[in-house]
Amino acid sequence: MCLADTLKLRRQKLADLIHFPVLLWSGQRSSRNFRANTFPFRASSHFLYFAGLPLENAVICLESGKLVLFMDKESPADALWHGASSTREAVAAQIGADAAYPLSKLAGFTEDVATIAAPDPATRLEQSNLLARTVSAQGKDLELTHAIVALRSSHDAAAIAEIRSAIAVTIAAHKAGMVSTPNASVEAQIRAAMEGVILSHNMTCAYNSIVTVHGEVLHNEDYHHAVQPNDLVLADVGAETTTGWASDVTRTWAASGKFSPTQRSLYDVVLDAHDRAIAHIRPGVEYRDVHLLACHAIAEGLAELGILRGNAEDLVEMDAHALFFPHGVGHLLGLDVHDMEDLGDLAGYEAGRTRSDRFGLGYLRLDRPLQAGMVVTIEPGFYQVPAILDDPERRETYRDVVNWDRLADFSDVRGIRIEDDVLVTQTGSEVLTAALPTDADAIQELVMSV
């Protein structure tokens, strides 16, 4: 199916859900210092979903299945510095627009429209000015938000094909990172090997890469640490296609190629949680239960290693697992790595549900029954986070359930995370990232395959 046909189906589905016009802005670049030196442009994901192309400073109107495109010809200065872009007519033909106008005509299309806030503040201001109101998730805007969540939660074939192509590049990037490690002296060299693969496929990173020997910093964005032979390297790196579809993969490997016995035993605990969580995925299953299953596996594994004391059920009940696995087991994936989290919890949480204030549940990003077409990540981990483990209150709360002396035997493990992207199918699930091994022996072989 061509792009225009895919987009037509998406807007017809939107028209089945809402009966008022919608304006969606792509957004615009913001400058670093002078106007032509800008941060990289990333179009709004809601715009991309219906317009299919990363157009800058464009707007679409969607109504009753029709699409009207608004965009201007670039200025002579933009043409001089950035080159000529496709004409409005050519873009309109490519995306199957029913009409196309310059932006000055937008004012005639504002009656009773709904919209969603664009990511950049300058565009948000334009939205409010044009509509003469604030843009917030209320009234029609909220109805639109719910309709878009319904559509974007369950991916069509074109979306899944895009996610698969992002994943193929991500897998190549992770393999390159593993192979580069024995000769790397700092994290930055491994990052360069991984992002080099992504850039060479003309893709970008779907989020800031995490490539670190300090995996206990969940979103570590420093790359200057020395890589020592007894370190674990945690790499959370994912490519994004040119039309914005994301992937999100984490692997953890031994810098020397070979896990120490302590690293290997904790790696296998995390892998067991990962495997059990994935095995549970199918339509109708509550994602919260997938999370709790992973928590249970972590608690059980840590108890078997003598790090925790007690049975897994009680340990999870008291959130003891969260001392070492403080985040949720994953999230929605699509046009954004944490898909639709710009909408707060409207996408991630079923109506009527709110975030728990429990230590072990507060970072759960998805609390809905799974449905076919969803892509979710599964990413359990084990971390020794000083801010958690050295906190006097937590130490007191968990005084009797943690064997702190035994924990000290595992000081060569700061952070382990294993993350795959999983498509919920009609009858179960498909691990879209399965071509990248998770098994410790297979990972070791890859690292040592230079």
Q: Which is nearer to Mn ion, 59 or 166 (CB)?
A: 166
Q: Which is nearer to Mn ion, 207 or 223 (CB)?
A: 207
∠ CA(211), CA(416), CA(177), 5° rounding? 35
The distance of closest approach from Cβ of residue 285 to ligand GLY in the complex, given in angstroms and rounded to an integer, is 20
How far is CA 200 from its chain centroid? 21
For the segment 214-273, give every residue that binds Mn ion (CB under 5 A): 248
The distance of closest approach from Cβ of residue 153 to Mn ion in the complex, given in angstroms and rounded to an integer, is 17
Residue 423 is given by DSSP the state: E
The distance of closest approach from Cβ of residue 221 to ligand GLY in the complex, given in angstroms and rounded to an integer, is 11
CA–CA separation, 400 and 319 (whole Å): 13
Helices then strands, counting H and E runs in the chain, come out as 15, 15
Per-residue contact flags (x/-) with ligand GLY for residues 184 to 223, judged by CB under 6 A: -----------------------x----------------
Asked if 377 touches Mn ion (CB under 5 A), the answer is yes
> In 394-436, where do the E strands start and end?
415-417, 420-424, 429-431
Residue 275 identity (one-letter amino acid): D
Residues that contact ligand GLY, how many (by CB under 6 A): 4
Per-residue contact flags (x/-) with ligand GLY for residues 326 to 355, judged by CB under 6 A: -----------x------------------
Q: Which is nearer to ligand GLY, 162 or 236 (CB)?
A: 236
Asked if 339 touches Mn ion (CB under 5 A), the answer is no
- Residues 181, 191 contacting (CB under 8 angstroms): no
The distance of closest approach from Cβ of residue 104 to ligand GLY in the complex, given in angstroms and rounded to an integer, is 41
The distance of closest approach from Cβ of residue 328 to ligand GLY in the complex, given in angstroms and rounded to an integer, is 9
Q: What is the CA radius of gyration of the chain?
A: 24
Q: Which is nearer to Mn ion, 195 or 248 (CB)?
A: 248
CA–CA separation, 379 and 251 (whole Å): 10
Asked if 248 touches ligand GLY (CB under 6 A), the answer is yes
The distance of closest approach from Cβ of residue 49 to ligand GLY in the complex, given in angstroms and rounded to an integer, is 20
Closest Cα to residue 57, out of 41, 77, 40? 41
Inter-CA distances, 283 with 144, 358, 368, 424, Å = 25, 26, 11, 7
Q: Which is nearer to Mn ion, 27 or 238 (CB)?
A: 238
Query: Which does residue 207 bind out of ligand GLY, Mn ion, none, counting CB within 5 to 8 angstroms by kind?
Result: ligand GLY
Query: Which does residue 249 bind out of ligand GLY, Mn ion, none, counting CB within 5 to 8 angstroms by kind?
Result: none
Q: Which is nearer to ligand GLY, 97 or 333 (CB)?
A: 333
CA–CA separation, 158 and 91 (whole Å): 19
- Residues 370, 153 contacting (CB under 8 angstroms): no
For the segment 152-171, give every residue that binds ligand GLY (CB under 6 A): none
The distance of closest approach from Cβ of residue 375 to ligand GLY in the complex, given in angstroms and rounded to an integer, is 13
The distance of closest approach from Cβ of residue 421 to Mn ion in the complex, given in angstroms and rounded to an integer, is 9
Q: Is 95 exposed, middle or buried (0-12, 13-18, 19+ CB in 10 A)?
A: buried
Residues that contact Mn ion, how many (by CB under 5 A): 2
Asked if 363 touches ligand GLY (CB under 6 A), the answer is no
Query: Which does residue 120 bind out of ligand GLY, Mn ion, none, counting CB within 5 to 8 angstroms by kind?
Result: none
- Residues 135, 128 contacting (CB under 8 angstroms): yes
Inter-CA distances, 206 with 25, 32, 53, 203, 240, Å = 20, 21, 16, 9, 5
CA–CA separation, 308 and 402 (whole Å): 5
The distance of closest approach from Cβ of residue 248 to ligand GLY in the complex, given in angstroms and rounded to an integer, is 5
CA–CA separation, 291 and 386 (whole Å): 23
Query: Which does residue 41 bind out of ligand GLY, Mn ion, none, counting CB within 5 to 8 angstroms by kind?
Result: none
Q: Pick from 236, 319, 420, 421 the residue near ligand GLY by CB under 6 A.
A: 236
Q: Which is nearer to ligand GLY, 280 or 327 (CB)?
A: 327
CA–CA separation, 133 and 176 (whole Å): 50
Q: Which is nearer to ligand GLY, 88 or 327 (CB)?
A: 327
Positions that interact with Mn ion (CB under 5 A): 248, 377
Positions that interact with ligand GLY (CB under 6 A): 207, 236, 248, 337
